[in-house]
Amino acid sequence: MKVLVTVKRVIDYNVKVRVKSDNTDVDLNNVKMAINPFCEIAVEEAVRLKESGQASEVVVVSLGPQAAQEQLRTALALGADRAILVQSDESLESLSVAKLLARVVEKEQPDLVLMGKQAIDSDNNQTGQMLAALAGLGQGTFASEVKIDGNQVQVTREVDGGLQTVALNTPAVVTVDLRLNEPRYASLPNIMKAKRKPLETMTPEDLDVEVKTHTRLLKVEAPAERTAGIKVADVAELVEKLKNEAKVI
pLDDT of residue 12: 93
pLDDT of residue 55: 93
pLDDT of residue 161: 84
pLDDT of residue 217: 87
pLDDT of residue 28: 86
Q: What is the pTM of this model?
A: 0.86
pLDDT of residue 90: 86
pLDDT of residue 150: 86
Which parts of the chain sit beneath pLDDT 50? none
pLDDT of residue 228: 83
Burial category of 122 from C-beta neighbours within 10 Å (exposed 0-12, middle 13-18, buried 19 and up) = middle
Contacts by 204-207 with C-beta closer than 8 Å and gap 24+?
204/86, 204/88, 204/96, 204/100, 207/86, 207/100, 207/103, 207/104, 207/107
Going along the chain from its start, the domains and CATH numbers come out as 2-244 (3.40.50.620)
